[in-house]
Structure 1
Amino acid sequence: MAKQLDYHTIRAIFDRFHAAEPEPKGELEHVNAYTLVVAVALSAQATDAGVNKATRGLFAVADTPEKMLELGEEGVTQHIKTIGLYRNKARNVIKMARILVDDYGGEVPNSRAALQALPGVGRKTANVVLNMWWHYPAQAVDTHIFRVGNRTGICPGRDVVAVERAIEDNIPVDYQHHAHHWLILHGRYICVARKPKCGACLIRDLCQFEEKTQ
């Protein structure tokens, strides 16, 4: 685990991220807050591309909790069976839809605690929804962010909560909203788990990773 970078270095890193991609976007396809929370929940232990392939058909027929309940668990299963853990995820999607209809009038709540209380929704999923839909600077720490944060020294921590806190404490406020998207994309395409593409990295000279590749 690298040591925490100083403020000026972190700002320089995010200046570069911003210059390269001013408005980074999440890659999960959605049309409203409900389809976003479902897509993010389905993405656990699955790729965004795989989830998008499955949800295009699902969301075409069920883009609200009410429609999802009409589709039923078996109907959901048929749409998402290409995704890992699909049976358990289909069960959670239906349970989530029932709670949203019964307790929230079919609307997705916008507090972290309420979101985390939904079946299949953890802290990471809740933070993604808060950030992407309500533009709250919540930080969803996945394996990519955990790796990048610890390799580079941008936001080191021994667990995801520590990394989340390091992002909030050390990344300048004006970059907080898009921080997790920049870090995820960097980890997904450049700072990959095996053989990171250091030669193509725009923050190579600022990064503390000692085992840089050519």
Structure 2
Amino acid sequence: MNKEKRHEIFTRLRAENPNPVTELEYNSPFELLIAVLFSAQATDVSVNKATRKLFPVANTPETMLVLGVDGLKSYIKTIGLFNAKAENAIKTCQMLIEQHNSEVPQTREELEALPGVGRKTANVVLNTAFRQIAMAVDTHIFRVSNRTKIAPGKNVLEVEQKLLRFLPKEFLLDAHHWLILHGRYICTARKPKCDACIIEDLCEFKEKTSS
């Protein structure tokens, strides 16, 4: 795909949604970190349902640590992999208190050192909470990047690197949100809604669907 096409694709996505935001509900970098940690292999809807009850009770490292693993589990048992996620969240709270003055760190290295925080989670926090240029490639972004040929790659890291390299700078800060929303609602896994897609004429997917 040439750079003119990429520019037009993101021009249209931006025009449709000038200020895209995550669908996870949060009011602080800590709440976002915990919500993203919970969201692995779970839907944002299920995470929001749990955190709406959890965050009024525990929305700082200290208050969450007081809950303990078992206490936290009772709030998030509707989320997949809740046992491991509760343990990681409590360990993360402990590290934030002991090593970061209860603040969420703003570097990838420090974030990835936290239990349960991988590259994708770190990228979401850096981009969404701290407005740093970072590309968190999940299944939606991986699919859209490969289907459209915006940034095809064999794995998530290759797609991430290509997106950062190929996309015009003016779109880099919000590209993650546009792509994830496009993959979630339009360029869906089983049957993409090509007839409802605003970039259908620019997309290089060979097996487009029609109603």
Distance 1:153 1:87 in 2: 38
Distance 2:200 2:164 in 1: 23
Q: Structure 2 residue aligned with 1:91, among 52, 65, 87?
A: 87
Distance 2:151 2:85 in 1: 31
Counterpart position of 1:132: 128
Letter of the structure 2 residue corresponding to residue 141 of structure 1: V
Distance 2:166 2:173 in 1: 13
Q: What's the Cα RMSD here?
A: 0.5
Q: Structure 1 residue aligned with 2:12, among 2, 16, 37?
A: 16
Pairing 1:196-207 to 2, within 5 Å after superposition: 196-207=192-203
Count of residues in Structure 1 that have an aligned counterpart in Structure 2: 210
- Length-normalised TM-score, structure 2: 0.99
Letter of the structure 2 residue corresponding to residue 60 of structure 1: P
- 5+ residue gaps in structure 1? none
Counterpart position of 2:37: 41
Pairing 1:162-181 to 2, within 5 Å after superposition: 162-181=158-177
Q: Structure 1 residue aligned with 2:152, among 142, 156, 163?
A: 156
Distance apart, 1:180 and its partner CA: 0.6
- Length-normalised TM-score, structure 1: 0.97
Counterpart position of 2:143: 147
Distance 1:19 1:45 in 2: 30
Letter of the structure 2 residue corresponding to residue 205 of structure 1: D
Distance apart, 1:31 and its partner CA: 1.0
Provide the secondary structure at the position in 1 that maps to 2:201: helix
Distance apart, 1:155 and its partner CA: 1.1
Distance apart, 1:137 and its partner CA: 1.0
Q: Structure 2 residue aligned with 1:117, among 113, 119, 137?
A: 113
**Percent identity of the aligned residues?**
56
* Offset from partner CA, 1:149-204 (integer Å, 9 cap, x none): 00001111111110001110111000000001000000000000001100000000
Provide the secondary structure at the position in 2 that maps to 1:98: helix
* Offset from partner CA, 1:94-117 (integer Å, 9 cap, x none): 000000001111011000010001
* Offset from partner CA, 1:36-77 (integer Å, 9 cap, x none): 000001000000000000011111111100001111111100
Distance 1:84 1:21 in 2: 30
Counterpart position of 2:46: 50
Distance 1:113 1:127 in 2: 11
Letter of the structure 1 residue corresponding to residue 119 of structure 2: R
Distance 1:92 1:133 in 2: 20
Does 2:71 match 1:75? yes
